[in-house]
């Protein structure tokens, strides 16, 4: 890939702890605002947002926390924020190329000792520079791809040796894994269909999704109780719980508010034909509500767009397309959809903020929480970090 141009970060969603969205005053930020990280001029390349705080990691290895948890540290390569635990990947203590995994209590402000430490073996090749194999990760998957971190004990969890993990994401009760061949695996609790095997049964061990076999996936993302995968050809597959429309399927709760695709359209964000969801039902027949989708469903994005990246909050979903548009849907009560209001949506809606400014969202991370963060690839080479 070409050398990455520097870009700017934007954030929106729940901000009840002053965690660096916009001015940091409002409890919720309804439309993207430039992100302000503590410390000016930080060249942030990784943001991990938990519900009450956010972790920023800069290319120089500096970690900064904002929100209910504070503190800073150096020598960090990666960070993963959750309410129970802050996990850091830091350069090893000695001269060897290994790294150290540290788990901290978020309230510790990174002072004192971490709760536990685990030495991670050196990987075959270093950073994602040219000529190097792209690393697995980010956290919670370790760079060696042999294990991952969990916010609940046991914290360090080895993966079966046969699994060649490229990406791993954790939901509230389940885990998704994408291997190097593009096959998706899932395990954990399945009561909301989030495992995608067609049942509500739990799985103790990673189990491949048969429905997606033969369709190489490029990305996976896990929400609280739903799962998304994006194929190499840009198709979006989605399954799990749809209680707030996070699967872009008609949901009863929104119908009662008059906002579901099966009911009256409550105002579109883009011109052009109505977006229809992929729910069943012939034309003219009332579309049934879908509470749980236990098999992957193919999702049509507006205008036949191809997706390149997907990310999920606990009850919402976001997708960036090849043409640089951001679509969000699902639970919107805290502005986490970025549509300038607090509506929830059960169909993909484009975030107009970026279109209006001719900005192209490129890469982003959302989290188990309401908060959503976007890294946007700007045209002008500029590092922008604002608090």
Partner 1 sequence: MAEDINRDPLAGAGALWEALLALLPRTKEELKLDLSEKVERSVVMLLQEATELFYGGRRNECLQTSEAVLDYSWEKLNTGPWQDVDKDWRRVYAFGCLLKAACLCEASEDATTVAAALKVCDMGLLMGAAILGDILIKVAAILQTHLLSRKRPAQGPTQEQPSTKKARNEHVSIPDMKSERTVPRLHCPSLQYFRKHFLVPERPVILEGVADHWPCMKKWSLEYIQEVAGCRTVPVEVGSRYTDEEWSQTLMTVNEFISKYIVDEPRDVGYLAQHQLFDQIPELKQDISIPDYCCLGDGEEDEITINAWFGPQGTVSPLHQDPQQNLLVQVIGRKYIRLYSPQESEALYPHDTHLLHNTSQVDVEHPDLEKFPQFAEAPFLSCILSPGEVLFIPVKYWHYVRALDLSFSVSFWWS
Given the rule CB under 8 A, which residues bind partner 1? 14, 16-17, 27, 51-53, 68-69, 83-84, 106-107, 172-173, 189, 191, 199-202, 224-225, 291, 314-315, 333-334
Pick 191 or 340: Cβ nearer partner 1: 191
Rounded to whole angstroms, how far apart are CA atoms 339 and 2?
32
Pick 56 or 225: Cβ nearer partner 1: 225
Shortest separation between residue 46's beta carbon and partner 1, angstroms = 21
Shortest separation between residue 237's beta carbon and partner 1, angstroms = 22
Rounded to whole angstroms, how far apart are CA atoms 4 and 1?
8
Pick 80 or 334: Cβ nearer partner 1: 334
Rounded to whole angstroms, how far apart are CA atoms 152 and 205?
17
Shortest separation between residue 24's beta carbon and partner 1, angstroms = 16
Please say whether the beta carbons of 326 and 374 come within 8 A: yes
Please say whether the beta carbons of 287 and 281 come within 8 A: yes
Distances (CA, A) of 206 to 153, 158, 178, 202, 254: 18, 12, 11, 11, 34
Pick 91 or 291: Cβ nearer partner 1: 291
Shortest separation between residue 367's beta carbon and partner 1, angstroms = 13
Query: How many residues belong to the chain?
Result: 387
Q: What angle do CA 60, 113, 19 make, to 5 degrees?
A: 55
Shortest separation between residue 338's beta carbon and partner 1, angstroms = 18
Quickly tell me which residue has 């005053």 as its tokens.
Answer: 25
Shortest separation between residue 151's beta carbon and partner 1, angstroms = 10
Pick 107 or 126: Cβ nearer partner 1: 107
Distances (CA, A) of 153 to 103, 156, 160, 235, 379: 11, 8, 18, 35, 44
Pick 142 or 176: Cβ nearer partner 1: 176
Shortest separation between residue 272's beta carbon and partner 1, angstroms = 33
Pick 69 or 319: Cβ nearer partner 1: 69
Pick 68 or 268: Cβ nearer partner 1: 68
Kindly write down the DSSP assignment for every residue of 221-285, as one continuous string.
EE-SSEEEEEETTS-EEEEEE-TTSTTSS--HHHHTTT-STTS-----SSSSSPPP------TTS
Nearest residue to 313 via CA among 282, 344, 286: 344
Pick 83 or 270: Cβ nearer partner 1: 83
Is the dihedral angle over the CA atoms 150, 151, 154, 155 positive or is it negative? Answer: positive
Q: In the numeric block, which tokens belong to residue 135?
A: 């690393």
Gyration radius (Cα) of the chain, Å: 20
Shortest separation between residue 306's beta carbon and partner 1, angstroms = 32
Rounded to whole angstroms, how far apart are CA atoms 326 and 315?
17
Rounded to whole angstroms, how far apart are CA atoms 57 and 373?
14
Pick 198 or 208: Cβ nearer partner 1: 198
Shortest separation between residue 100's beta carbon and partner 1, angstroms = 25
Shortest separation between residue 284's beta carbon and partner 1, angstroms = 20
CA-CA-CA-CA dihedral for 59, 164, 311, 65, to nearest 10: -40
């Amino acid at each position: 890939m070409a050398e990455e141009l520097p870009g700017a970060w934007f954030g929106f969603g729940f901000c009840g702890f002053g965690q660096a969205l916009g001015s940091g005053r409002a409890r919720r930020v309804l439309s993207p605002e430039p992100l302000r990280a503590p410390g000016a001029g930080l060249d942030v390349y990784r943001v991990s947002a938990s519900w009450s705080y956010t972790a920023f990691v800069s290319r120089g290895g500096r970690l900064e926390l904002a929100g209910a948890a504070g503190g800073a540290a150096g020598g960090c390569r990666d960070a993963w924020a959750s309410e129970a635990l802050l996990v850091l990947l830091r350069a090893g203590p000695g001269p060897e190329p290994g790294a150290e995994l540290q788990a901290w209590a978020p309230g510790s402000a990174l002072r004192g000792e971490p709760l536990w430490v685990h030495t991670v073996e050196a990987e075959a090749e270093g950073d994602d520079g040219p000529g190097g194999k792209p690393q697995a990760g980010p956290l919670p998957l370790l760079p060696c791809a042999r294990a991952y971190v969990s916010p609940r004990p046991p914290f360090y969890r080895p993966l079966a040796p046969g699994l060649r993990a490229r990406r791993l994401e954790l939901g509230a009760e389940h885990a998704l894994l994408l291997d190097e061949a593009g096959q998706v695996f899932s395990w954990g609790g399945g009561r909301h269909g989030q495992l995608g095997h067609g049942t509500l049964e739990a799985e103790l061990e990673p189990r491949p999704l048969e429905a997606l076999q033969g369709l190489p996936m490029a990305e996976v993302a896990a929400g609280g109780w739903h799962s998304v995968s994006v194929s190499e050809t840009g198709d979006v597959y989605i399954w799990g719980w749809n209680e707030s429309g996070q699967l872009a399927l008609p949901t009863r709760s929104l119908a009662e508010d008059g906002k579901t695709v099966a009911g009256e359209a409550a105002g579109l964000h883009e011109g052009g034909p109505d977006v229809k969801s992929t729910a069943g039902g012939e034309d003219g027949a009332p579309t049934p509500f879908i509470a749980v989708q236990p098999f992957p469903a193919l999702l049509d994005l507006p205008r036949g767009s191809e997706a390149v990246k997907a990310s999920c909050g606990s009850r919402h979903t976001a997708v960036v397309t090849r043409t640089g548009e951001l679509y969000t849907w699902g639970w919107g009560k805290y502005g986490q959809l970025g549509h300038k209001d607090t509506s929830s949506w059960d169909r993909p809606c484009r975030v107009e903020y970026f279109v209006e400014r001719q900005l192209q969202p490129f890469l982003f991370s959302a989290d188990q929480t309401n908060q959503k963060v976007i890294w946007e690839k700007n045209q002008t080479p500029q590092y922008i970090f604002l608090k």
